[in-house]
Amino acid sequence: MSLIVDTLEGTIDRVAVAIERIQTFVPEEGYYVAFSGGKDSQVVLDLVERSGVKFDAHMNLTTVDPPELLRFVREHYAERVTLERPETSMYKLIVKKRIPPTRRVRYCCEHLKERGGTGRIVVTGIRWAESSRRSQRRMTESCFNDKTKVFLHPIIDWSDEDVWEYLNGRGLPHCSLYDEGKHRIGCVMCPMSRRMKQEAERWPKFAAMYERACVASYDKAVSDGLVRDRQWDNGHDMYEWWINNSPATCDDPQLFPLDN
């Protein structure tokens, strides 16, 4: 695909269309721009800045962000994006929930990544091409968990090629992790990435934190009397099950109830 597209109805300039979307929906108080440091949020932030509308940009830190990403953001966006620290950490969440996050139980996103923007129009870099689930999203939509929050996804119909064409055409730098072959950048050892073992080797301090959290969460579950039909002998076994992406039997709330 290209940022300039010839159709039966004429020529479409994807950049002009995205800027028009941003200018059309701008509220009086301005936009809340959700920034992650990834390529899509870079494009969106640049488009919002070019559109001339009022906005404030925020990046929600998760305590398990890749150090390369944090260095990149601090070097290139420190004066343009507010870094928001969470009230809790991934370690504390795992202990509280008594289990690490899995593909079916992703409580961490709500507590760590999806904070902020209440009562605002939130601009994001979500695109249909990212995943089958995101292909069902709409350009404007209400937040499922917070009805006072409305999302605007101005580049929802862009391809990966469009994003890179825009970044390169604008001369915008990008995080070095993309040069190592990563297509998307998220939390270290996220179970959705399917590269947990490789990332554990790349960032061993994070792996050690996750294992300590599994030990503490398992011990807490045992002391609370909430482990039935144990599939692990201890928290180290839980960690090995988790990092190897074993079947998610522990997602059954009857086996391992989760705290709210």
The continuous run of DSSP H or E covering 60 comes out as strand 55-60
Q: From the CB of residue 183, how many other CB atoms can be counted at a distance below 10 Å?
A: 9
Q: What is the mean pLDDT of the chain?
A: 91
CA angle 28, 21, 163 (to 5 degrees): 125
pLDDT, residue 7, reads: 72
Cα separation, 147 vs 212, whole angstroms: 36
Cα separation, 97 vs 76, whole angstroms: 36
Each residue's pLDDT tens digit, 20-49: 999 999 999 999 999 999 999 999 999 999
Cα separation, 45 vs 170, whole angstroms: 13
Q: Is the pLDDT of residue 250 over 80?
A: no
Q: From the CB of residue 87, how many other CB atoms can be counted at a distance below 10 Å?
A: 8
Helices (H), the chain: 14-25, 39-51, 67-76, 90-97, 107-108, 160-170, 196-202, 204-223, 235-243
Q: Is the pLDDT of residue 249 over 70?
A: no
Which band of pLDDT confidence, cut at 50, 70 and 90, is reported for residue 229?
Answer: low
pLDDT, residue 225, reads: 83
pLDDT, residue 133, reads: 83
Tell me the CB-side half-sphere exposure of residue 117, using CA atoms within 13 A: 27
What does the pLDDT average to over 99-127?
93
Cα separation, 199 vs 178, whole angstroms: 14
pLDDT, residue 52, reads: 98
pLDDT, residue 252, reads: 46
pLDDT, residue 131, reads: 83
Q: Is the pLDDT of residue 142 over 90?
A: yes
Q: From the CB of residue 8, how many other CB atoms can be counted at a distance below 10 Å?
A: 4
pLDDT, residue 9, reads: 72
* CATH code at 15-93+106-180: 3.40.50.620
pLDDT over 90 percentage in the chain: 75
